[in-house]
């Protein structure tokens, strides 16, 4: 156990959620350990699912938009033969169909790689006419959420042991693996639901580096560091002393650009950073701010140093 953190503690926890807990319930131990209600995860996992939650604590909660937009990695077990209302093991059966052959399954997978349109599950937290979709579905209302664009960067079949298929997925924000299982089955002439789902990674953060709620202690809190931004696949910049002080006060960024370098010392390219956001740190690695780039100009995303 490390030394006790001071009130106002802030940072990132890599938490491994177990099946049977909602994502909200999984945060209870984080709140207890750090004596704060200012805690938030950056992407929900269904109750039946397990895997990595990125949990932001204290001032770091306001960094959620840059964490939530990351690509995600999953290992999923699909059970073919029948579809459930919730598209998971907890729902009642709503449709049945014969099992697909392996060839039909592999051909179906081809249709879901790349940019696709996907309808979220009826039992999901998206809003339909201002109401959560799952609330409508539970009340007996027939819900058909509109399709929306998502990207499936990779989709691989690890095993086919009828009626189960084990798949690995890397996908964009907003993609539902329950919907993916449903749609793969329909394309293969069958029906299916998810029997098991594990989130194995978010951007470059990995489940193997996470702690479970039972093993959580104060040492699990990671500071917002240049390494965290690199794991988000965003630039980490270092500001000299004068520039760091000015940025912490929220002064105009453009005149201060000459005082910024890539973390590690490399100079910025003459045309500037083209990414939409970057983290800025002082020479000691203390996090100052997120700055964003739009239409060729810098703006503040969040001044962390001012909290």
Q: Please list the active-site residues.
A: 46
Q: Which H or E element spans position 294?
A: strand 287-294
**Closest to 49 (Cα-Cα) out of 136, 172, 237, 176:** 176
| Gap between the Cα atoms of 10 and 5, Å rounded | 9
Which residue, among 109, 221, 121, has the nearest Cα to 169 in the 3D structure?
A: 109
CB contact set of 154 (below 8 Å; sequence gap of 6+): 113, 168, 169, 170
Task: Work out the angle between the directed axes of helices 102-110 and 177-187 (0-180°, nearest 10).
Answer: 120
The DSSP symbol for 214 reads G
Q: Is 286 left (phi over 0), alpha (psi -120 to 50) or beta?
A: beta
Half-sphere exposure of 41 (CA within 13 A, CB side): 22
Q: Which residues pair with 293 in a beta bridge?
A: 298
């Amino acid at each position: 156990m490390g030394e006790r953190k001071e009130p106002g503690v802030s940072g990132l926890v890599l938490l491994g959620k177990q099946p049977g807990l909602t994502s909200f319930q999984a945060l209870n131990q984080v709140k207890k350990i750090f004596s704060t209600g200012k805690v938030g995860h950056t992407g929900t996992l269904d109750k039946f699912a397990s895997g990595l939650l990125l949990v932001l604590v204290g001032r770091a909660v306001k960094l959620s938009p840059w964490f939530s937009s990351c690509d995600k990695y999953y290992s999923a077990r699909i059970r073919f033969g029948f579809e459930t209302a919730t598209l998971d093991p907890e729902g009642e059966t709503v449709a049945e169909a014969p099992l697909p052959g392996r060839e039909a399954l592999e051909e179906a997978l081809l249709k879901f790689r790349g940019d696709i349109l996907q309808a979220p599950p009826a039992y999901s937290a998206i809003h339909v006419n201002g109401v959560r979709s799952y609330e409508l579905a539970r009340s007996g209302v027939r819900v058909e959420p509109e399709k929306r664009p998502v990207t499936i960067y990779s989709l691989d079949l690890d095993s086919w042991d009828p009626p189960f298929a084990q798949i690995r997925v890397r996908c964009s924000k907003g993609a539902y693996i329950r919907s993916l299982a449903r749609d793969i089955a329909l394309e293969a002439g069958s029906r299916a639901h998810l029997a098991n789902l594990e989130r194995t990674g978010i951007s470059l953060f990995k489940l193997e580096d996470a702690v479970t709620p039972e093993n959580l202690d104060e040492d699990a809190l990671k500071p917002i560091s240049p390494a965290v931004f690199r794991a988000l696949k965003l630039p980490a910049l270092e500001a000299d002393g004068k520039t760091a002080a000015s940025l912490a006060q929220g002064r105009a960024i453009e005149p201060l650009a000459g005082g910024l370098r890539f973390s590690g010392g490399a100079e910025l390219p003459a045309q500037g950073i083209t990414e939409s956001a970057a983290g800025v740190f002082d020479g000691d690695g203390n996090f100052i701010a997120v700055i964003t780039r739009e239409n060729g100009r810098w703006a503040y995303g969040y001044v962390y140093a001012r909290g």
